[in-house]
Chain A
Amino acid sequence: MSERVVKFNPEEWESIFRLRWVWDPPPPWLKLNEEMLHRFTQVELDFKQKELEIEMEKLQALRKLMG
């Protein structure tokens, strides 16, 4: 059993691997249109701000705990 090798194309490699599970932009399976993408981006910015706030509060609480 054998198969012809398709010559490896760096651009093809790039297109295969660039669609990673990342949040900026959102994952490809959502198929967001531009308008919705923009709307989600705003929510994501708010999410990130909240995450940062909570992390800072956690750090302060940890410092207090450690004396």
Chain B
Amino acid sequence: MPSNFDALLVGYENQENLGLRSIVAYLRAQGYKVAMVPFSPNCEQKVLTAIQERQPSLVGFSLIFQYGLEEFHQLMSFLRTNGVSAHFTAGGHFPSLRPEMTLKLMSELDTVVRFEGEFTLEELLDNLGNPSKWNSIKGLAYRSGGKVTLTPLRPLIDDLDRLPYVYRDTTWQSSSGINIASMLASRGCWFNCSFCSIRQFYAGSSGPLRRSRSPNAVVDEMLRLYNESNVRFFSFQDDDFAARTNRQREWLDQFLDCLSSSHLIHEIGWKISCRVDDLEPDILQRMIEHGLIAVYLGVESGSNQSLRTLNKHVTVEQNLSAIQLIKNYNIALAIGFMLFDPSSTVATVKENLRFLRTVGQDGYFPINFCKMLPYAGTPIETQLSNEGRLTGTITHPDYDFLDPKINWYAFLVQRIFTKRNFGSSGLVARLQQSDFELQLNRTLLGDQTASDRQLILRELTQRSNLLALETLEMLLDNVLQRDIDALFNERDTLVEIADREWRGEAEIEMELEAMLSPAYTP
């Protein structure tokens, strides 16, 4: 017998979809029957079965990533074809910033919930059968009389502590037997990096660009997860775990005090993502004393010209200092780095390679690198569009470089390094994961061999970094010094460069597997 749910929400669940889970928790607290199903490629039948079992009045799709539009559209078409007549709505960055486009492209959708979804979705559920009232629901987009109507935006939620703790499953991600939970202490970011749509996601509505939960509430949620589910590692997904202003530092002081009072600090580890100018020695040291064991730094570039294009408001020197600071404390580090951006020239690429050599030659962390892509709603997308340089598609927006040689170079770099840098089993992911696991083993499990293994891991990471840098430099020399037609005609040079890189990666992967195997003896 089908049980009639009010809503079923579908979304990506890598590292837990905290936005969607917040909505689930809020709606449940208001008395609605709500379920969620993780989205993955080819999940159509699984979602259909979940809908048939629960008979929801509304199905909500969390469209966080622009590149997932097509897959979500296929899912919606499949569901409609198979007789699902529930109300379809979508939320997330792309639908919020491009509601007309979303409704045009996805005829299966009835509405779009724009920006923060908790209250809008609640009002939509209350008025699902009464479209004449939709114009009074703030933050909604819907079709009406051959038009798309956008209602006024809803003010941002003024007090995040009003929201219940996010909905959690009973199963957990784990590493080395340690349960891991994603956490959110704040929403939004004060900065306006040209490649990022976080500011645009929050700036349209009235309210502060960045809001924090109270330190008490964050630690209480951590304590509850520790006590009830034995979660011992907390991965903060805040857009920027900020500690620049006096107010932010007060918040951090209170957060650390609460952690101390909770007696969690020797039992747990945590990770943050932040800007390089958030870190200062005294702040970092205190966070480490309270369990911080990993940092993701938004470095982005080793060229001051590129940092200006990206509107980062930091310098190369600040980037170098922040990385060195982390190294001094021996905690896990990963960085975001864009080897290419719309202002890239041969000179900026060379600056970036020098930067990567400076920070990566000791093997402290695996270097990776990508091309900045102009996602919907970002300032750089507008700029490229105005300059007539925007290419690609809605799902995969792109641009040309001003120097054709850089076009070819970026193309070849992407071809040779995509698996290494971005594959889930690529070398960078394996090295990062191993470093993270060894950090957990060392700090939380007291594993005496972890330090020895970390030294070997650093050697492997160093080899991987130096290999990649040599490949990048060889490739650049060839693209700059030779005619592209000749390079393609001859073929052997490119194949040799790729073969050398991929064989080197394979050797390092094998040594890594051997080092991580239970039979390993230092």
Point out residues on A near B: beta carbons under 8 Å.
1-6, 8, 13, 16-17, 19-21, 23, 26-31, 36, 39-40, 42-44, 46-47, 50-51, 54, 57-58, 61-62, 65
B8 interface hit (Cβ, 8 Å): no
Question: Are A17 and B395 in contact, with the CB atoms below 8 A?
Answer: yes
Q: How far is the CA of A61 from the CA of B510 in the complex (A)?
A: 7
Identity of the chain B residue whose Cβ is nearest the Cβ of A64 in the assembled complex: B510
Distance in angstroms from A50 CB to nearest chain B CB is: 5
Interface locus among B160-168, B356-364, B486-494: B486-494
B498 interface hit (Cβ, 8 Å): yes
By a CB distance below 8 angstroms, the chain A residues around B247 are: none
Question: Are B395 and A20 in contact, with the CB atoms below 8 A?
Answer: yes
Question: Are A40 and B495 in contact, with the CB atoms below 8 A?
Answer: no
Question: Are A46 and B148 in contact, with the CB atoms below 8 A?
Answer: no
9 A/B residue pairs, CB under 8 Å, sorted by A? A4-B146, A8-B104, A17-B70, A23-B415, A27-B398, A27-B411, A29-B400, A36-B488, A65-B510
Q: With A23-B415, A30-B411, A65-B514 given, is the CB distance from A16 to B147 under 8 Å?
A: no
Q: How far is the CA of A65 from the CA of B520 in the complex (A)?
A: 11
By a CB distance below 8 angstroms, the chain B residues around A17 are: 69-70, 393-395
B399 interface hit (Cβ, 8 Å): yes
Q: With A42-B491, A65-B510, A65-B514 given, is the CB distance from A2 to B392 under 8 Å?
A: no
Question: Are A58 and B509 in contact, with the CB atoms below 8 A?
Answer: yes
Chain B 481-507: CB-based contact to A (< 8 A → 1; otherwise 0):
000110011010011001100110010
Contact pick for A62, options B394, B411, B513, CB 8 Å? B513
Question: Are A16 and B394 in contact, with the CB atoms below 8 A?
Answer: yes
Question: Are B513 and A65 in contact, with the CB atoms below 8 A?
Answer: yes
Identity of the chain B residue whose Cβ is nearest the Cβ of A35 in the assembled complex: B485
Q: With A51-B502, A57-B506 given, is the CB distance from A29 to B398 under 8 Å?
A: yes
CB neighbors of A among B118-151 (8 A):
143-144, 146-150
By a CB distance below 8 angstroms, the chain A residues around B385 are: none
Distance in angstroms from B212 CB to nearest chain A CB is: 31
Distance in angstroms from B284 CB to nearest chain A CB is: 38
Given contact pairs A3-B100, A20-B70, enumerate 5 new A-B contacts (beta carbons under 8 Å). A4-B147, A16-B105, A28-B391, A47-B495, A54-B502
By a CB distance below 8 angstroms, the chain A residues around B398 are: 27-29
Question: Are A43 and B392 in contact, with the CB atoms below 8 A?
Answer: no
Contact pick for B396, options A21, A30, A40, CB 8 Å? A21
Question: Are A43 and B150 in contact, with the CB atoms below 8 A?
Answer: no
Question: Are B149 and A2 in contact, with the CB atoms below 8 A?
Answer: yes
Distance in angstroms from B228 CB to nearest chain A CB is: 38
* CB < 8 Å A-B pair total: 101
By a CB distance below 8 angstroms, the chain A residues around B144 are: 2
B196 interface hit (Cβ, 8 Å): no
Question: Are A54 and B503 in contact, with the CB atoms below 8 A?
Answer: yes
Q: How far is the CA of A1 from the CA of B140 in the complex (A)?
A: 12
Q: How far is the CA of A51 from the CA of B416 in the complex (A)?
A: 10
By a CB distance below 8 angstroms, the chain A residues around B392 are: 19, 27-29
B14 interface hit (Cβ, 8 Å): no
Distance in angstroms from A55 CB to nearest chain B CB is: 8
Q: How far is the CA of A28 from the CA of B396 in the complex (A)?
A: 10
Distance in angstroms from A52 CB to nearest chain B CB is: 11
Contact pick for B491, options A2, A16, A23, A46, CB 8 Å? A46
Question: Interface on chain A toward B: helix, strand, loop, or mixed SS?
Answer: helix
Q: How far is the CA of A46 from the CA of B495 in the complex (A)?
A: 7
Q: Which of A28, A29, A39 is most buried by chain B, counting CB atoms within 10 A of its CB?
A: A29
CB neighbors of A among B384-434 (8 A):
391-396, 398-400, 407-408, 411, 415
Nearest 8 A/B pairs, CB to CB: A39-B488, A29-B398, A46-B495, A2-B147, A29-B391, A19-B393, A8-B107, A17-B70
By a CB distance below 8 angstroms, the chain A residues around B100 are: 3
Contact pick for B489, options A19, A28, A39, CB 8 Å? A39
Identity of the chain A residue whose Cβ is nearest the Cβ of B389 in the assembled complex: A29
B328 interface hit (Cβ, 8 Å): no
By a CB distance below 8 angstroms, the chain A residues around B503 are: 54
Identity of the chain B residue whose Cβ is nearest the Cβ of A49 in the assembled complex: B495
B246 interface hit (Cβ, 8 Å): no
Q: How far is the CA of A17 from the CA of B72 in the complex (A)?
A: 12
By a CB distance below 8 angstroms, the chain B residues around A29 are: 391-392, 398-400, 407
B103 interface hit (Cβ, 8 Å): yes
Distance in angstroms from B300 CB to nearest chain A CB is: 21
By a CB distance below 8 angstroms, the chain B residues around A27 are: 392, 398, 411
Distance in angstroms from B415 CB to nearest chain A CB is: 7
Q: How far is the CA of A55 from the CA of B396 in the complex (A)?
A: 29
Q: With A28-B391, A29-B391, A61-B510 given, is the CB distance from A5 to B104 under 8 Å?
A: yes
Question: Are A58 and B506 in contact, with the CB atoms below 8 A?
Answer: yes
Q: How far is the CA of A19 from the CA of B391 in the complex (A)?
A: 11
Chain B 464-486: CB-based contact to A (< 8 A → 1; otherwise 0):
00000000000000000000110
Distance in angstroms from B391 CB to nearest chain A CB is: 5
Q: How far is the CA of A1 from the CA of B408 in the complex (A)?
A: 43
Question: Are A2 and B411 in contact, with the CB atoms below 8 A?
Answer: no
Question: Are B393 and A16 in contact, with the CB atoms below 8 A?
Answer: yes
By a CB distance below 8 angstroms, the chain A residues around B448 are: none
Identity of the chain A residue whose Cβ is nearest the Cβ of B147 in the assembled complex: A2
By a CB distance below 8 angstroms, the chain B residues around A43 are: 488, 491, 494-495
Q: With A36-B485, A46-B491 given, is the CB distance from A8 to B148 under 8 Å?
A: no
Identity of the chain A residue whose Cβ is nearest the Cβ of B395 in the assembled complex: A17
Question: Are A50 and B517 in contact, with the CB atoms below 8 A?
Answer: no
